[in-house]
Amino acid sequence: MAVRVSFYGLVCLLLCMEPTMAREKDYSKKEREVLNRSVNEVVDMLEKEMKERFGLRCIGQGGSMPYDIQKIGVRFLGHQQVTVEEARELEIRATERFVEIINAHEGIRPFLRDYPWDYRRASIMIAFRDERGEDYPEGVRLILQGKDQVFYFGPKKYPNDIDHLKEEPYEEAKNIVNSSPSCLKPMAPKPVEKKKKKWFGFL
């Protein structure tokens, strides 16, 4: 389930603006292939970890790579109702882990605008909806970070509503997560599907 269209303008303003002009680099076809493959590898690694650890499903990726890798963004969807505290922890843990993955990937390093990479260039957006794609009645509906701030949005009260719950500095949110016990609920184990017995090959 993709993040609703009404947020695209906000996200572009927050995450895709670059204060300095990029210096054009003439990559060869082979170098461009390495760049694209490296981006896919770091995203795939994050996607796998977030699904296994937190049950978050990747629903899209993007970024800004006009000449070099300026920003990489990943969007996740969680089928869980979360509080501000839980959303904050998921956002910080996902972002910080993404930074670690990117900095540890030697193949992507020559193409990065900055090294070491930091959270300002690793954009994580997480939406929370039920299995039918509907917003939960309470809690955080969407969380994202940009321009050194973490933004929290709540359930819509009416169509086209953007319920901005709060915002806080990224470093402040990170300090809260790192200095507090985890508030995330353990993931419920998936039920094991029993295989039906076949009788004479007919069932």
Q: Could you report the per-residue pLDDT of 37-69, keeping only the tens digit for each?
A: 999 999 999 999 999 999 999 999 987 777 789
Sign of the Cα pseudo-torsion (176, 177, 181, 185, in order): positive
3-class DSSP assignment, residue 159: coil
pLDDT tens for 94-114 read 999 999 999 999 999 999 999
Asked if the peptide bond before residue 19 counts as cis, ω within 30 degrees of 0, the response is: no
Distance CA 134, CA 174 (A): 29
Cβ proximity of 64 and 71 under 8 Å: yes
**H or E segment and range at residue 31:** helix 29-54
Look at residue 75 and tell me whether its pLDDT is greater than 70.
yes
Instruction: Work out the percent of the chain whose per-residue pLDDT is above 90.
Output: 65
pLDDT at 190 (0 to 100)? 57
Among all chains, which residue has been given the structure tokens 């969807």? 77
**Among 61-65, 126-130, 180-184, which stretch is predicted with the lowest mean pLDDT?**
61-65
> For 23, which DSSP code?
P
Query: What per-residue confidence (pLDDT) applies to 42?
Result: 97
pTM for the whole structure: 0.80
Three-state DSSP class for 64? strand
The domains of the chain are located at: 10-17+25-178
Per the document, the length of the chain is 203
CA quadruple 100, 103, 108, 111: dihedral sign: positive
